[in-house]
Amino acid sequence: MGAVKRTNISFPCGSLSLEGVWQLPEGSGPFPAVVLCHPHPAYGGSMCNNVILALASTLVSKAIAAFSFNFRGVGRSGGRSGSGIDEQRDVVAAIDFVGSRREVDINSLGLAGYSFGAGVALPVAVKDERVKALALVSLPLGLADIDKLKSYPKPKLLICGSDDFIASSQEMELIAQELVPPKQFELIPGADHFWWGYEEEMAEKVSSFLASFLKRTNT
């Protein structure tokens, strides 16, 4: 992989200004792109989280642009953290920003979230037709509208660790069986909710899934 173009940016969300990091693969676009949603701010979650960093790096290695951002009230993003409802507007604003970039193929846009970020990403993906594929890492079932996930017709991935103490692997596997296709379920033996030591394995699974559905539609 060649040099990655990494740019710190700010983008609007209503009256707020949110911060993000834009990572582009080497070469000329337009590229497929994925918006990444970080874990819960109350527990130190931000776009600098180990899972988000691993996902961004691996996506770029597969010629997919990655956009990480901080939810409202995190880092240099304005506003205050909400209950996951206001943060859905942040995700839509991030998609708006990515979709406006000339480097991006808007017909090949994915959404990925980790933990709290997965719970926020899910309802946005259900409503937003621009999202072509959805990856949910360690989805907290208490934060998710599982019925909407079960009927979500676009490509979707559920991934968790066997030792996850928040996203139960047994419950997740049962839910995965009820999803309409296309779907994929991945269980990483030994990994817990924080993914320490398993970031690369997780990121490869997620990025390969997204790459298989996010093809360049423009040349």
- The domain spanning residue 41 has which CATH number? 3.40.50.1820
Asked whether residue 158 is assigned to any structural domain, the reply reads yes
Q: What are phi and psi of 170, to 5 degrees?
A: -65, -45
DSSP lists the bridge partners of residue 24 as 5
How many Cα atoms sit within 13 Å of 9 on the Cβ side?
Answer: 17
Q: What is the pTM of this model?
A: 0.96
pLDDT at residue 2, rounded to an integer = 46
**218 band by pLDDT with thresholds 50, 70 and 90:** low
Q: How far apart are CA 156 and CA 180, in angstroms?
A: 9
CB atoms within 10 A of CB 113: 28
Question: 219 lies in a domain?
Answer: no
Task: Compute the average pLDDT of residues 102-113.
Answer: 97
Report yes or no on 44 lying in a domain. Answer: yes
String of DSSP letters for 52-85: HHHHHHHHHHTT-EEEEEPPTTSTT--S---SSS
CA-based angle 98:106:209, to the nearest 5? 90
Task: For residues 140-150, give the mean pLDDT.
Answer: 87
Q: What is the 3-state secondary structure (H, E, C) of 84-108?
A: CCHHHHHHHHHHHHHHCCCCEEEEE
Please give the Cα distance from 127 to 131 (Å, whole number).
Answer: 9
**Is residue 103 exposed (0-12), middle (13-18) or buried (19+ Cβ within 10 Å)?**
middle
Residue range 86-112: mean pLDDT, rounded: 97
Query: How far does CA 76 lie from the centroid of its chain?
Result: 20
pLDDT on residue 192 = 97
Residue pair 36/57 in contact by the 8 Å Cβ criterion = no
| Count: domains in the chain | 1
| Mean pLDDT value across the chain | 95
Question: What pLDDT is attached to residue 145?
Answer: 84
Does 92 map to a domain?
A: yes
83 band by pLDDT with thresholds 50, 70 and 90: confident
pLDDT at residue 91 above 50? yes
**pLDDT of amino acid 25:** 94
* Domain contains 99: yes
Q: Quick check: is 218 in a domain?
A: no
Decide if 112 is inside a domain: yes
Q: Quick: pLDDT tens for 8-20.
A: 999 999 999 999 9
Q: Which helix (H) or strand (E) holds 37?
A: strand 31-37
Taking only the tens place, the pLDDT of each residue in 38-80 is 999 999 999 999 999 999 999 999 999 999 999 999 999 999 9
Q: What is the pLDDT of residue 4?
A: 66
Q: Which range of residues forms the domain containing residue 60?
A: 5-213
Note the pLDDT of residue 143: 72
For the chain, give the percent of residues with pLDDT over 90. 89
**Which of the 8 DSSP states describes residue 4?**
-
Give 144's pLDDT tier (boundaries 50, 70, 90). Answer: confident
